[in-house]
Amino acid sequence: MTNLDEFGLPEPTQYPPMPKAKSMMPDANPCPFCGRHINPNDNDTLYPAGIGWKEEDGIRSYCDIYDVPKEQWCYKIICNESYGGCGVTMYGDSPEETLEKWNKRS
Ligand SMILES: [Zn+2]
């Protein structure tokens, strides 16, 4: 047995904590097109779409993701082809809204 302390290795707790990507999402319904189960907590299934939204005078418009805070990012949910899915994609103005749309459709 080797005592790791002898080598002066840092304790694992010294590593920076993982960034909190998003809060835990409730379960998603199976894909409306191919029936595949998707996991909305998977970062390749539900993730930022690369655009943001902003509202001026009650009119919502879409803009660059860097122009708005994280709360105003658009998200997409995808039945990921790399997991054997059909590739269908839906968009929303938040992770929750995106999942809600998905669940309504399925
Ligand atoms: Zn599918």
Percentage of the chain lying above the pLDDT 70 cut: 77
Q: How far is the CA of 32 from the centre of ligand 1 (A)?
A: 7
| pLDDT tens column, 47-85 | 999 999 999 999 999 999 999 999 999 999 999 999 999
Q: How far is the CA of 95 from the centre of ligand 1 (A)?
A: 18
Per domain, the residue ranges of the chain are: 25-105
Stated pTM of the model: 0.74
Q: How far is the CA of 101 from the centre of ligand 1 (A)?
A: 15
SS3 per residue for the chain = CCCHHHHCCCCHHHCCCCCCCCCCCCCCCCCCCCCCCCCCCCCCCEEEEEEEEEEECCEEEEEEHHHCCHHHEEEEEECCHHHCCCCCEEEECCHHHHHHHHHHHC
Q: How far is the CA of 18 from the centre of ligand 1 (A)?
A: 30
Q: How far is the CA of 24 from the centre of ligand 1 (A)?
A: 22
Closest by CA to 39, choosing from 104, 87, 83, 86, is 83
Closest by CA to 52, choosing from 93, 97, 99, 91, is 93
- Looking at residue 68, its pLDDT comes to 96
Q: How far is the CA of 83 from the centre of ligand 1 (A)?
A: 10
Q: How far is the CA of 56 from the centre of ligand 1 (A)?
A: 36
